[in-house]
Amino acid sequence: MKTERVTRVTRAGAPRRGVRAGDKKLSAPVTLFAAIETEQHEALRAIAFAERRSLADVVREALTGFISQHPARRRLVAAKR
């Protein structure tokens, strides 16, 4: 996943309100609509809240971990070599 850190400031050099300095800007974002169980949503929200991260960031990290460990992914990587 390619991301870049974004720092936004006003012309006077002060951080803008409503924008968090250090937010990640995705290089090619795709919106994912997925139905998940209530318990899954509650767990993801609790993790995001505890770590002071966005829910989307937690979901991206979970997906990256799943994809990197999935057998089909390993076969695709091996086939490209």
pLDDT for residue 19 is more than 50: no
Q: Is 38 found in the same domain as 7?
A: no
**CA 2, CA 27: separation in Å to the nearest integer?**
6
User: For the chain, percent helix, then strand, then coil, each to nearest 5?
Assistant: 45, 10, 40
Predicted confidence at residue 12, as pLDDT, reads 64
The confidence band for 15, taking pLDDT boundaries of 50, 70 and 90, is low
Instruction: Say whether both 69 and 43 belong to one domain.
Output: yes
pLDDT band of 21, cuts 50, 70, 90: very low
Q: Are residues 41 and 79 in the same domain?
A: yes
Residues 38 and 66 in one domain: yes
Helix or strand (DSSP H, E) at 26: strand 23-26
Domain co-membership, 21 together with 35: no
- Closest of 12, 52, 56 to residue 32, by C-alpha: 56
Domain span including residue 7 = 1-29
Count of domains for the chain:
2
Examine the domain organization and report whether 10 and 49 are in the same domain: no
Residue 77 half-sphere exposure toward CB, CA atoms < 13 A:
8
- Are residues 56 and 78 located together in one domain of the fold? yes
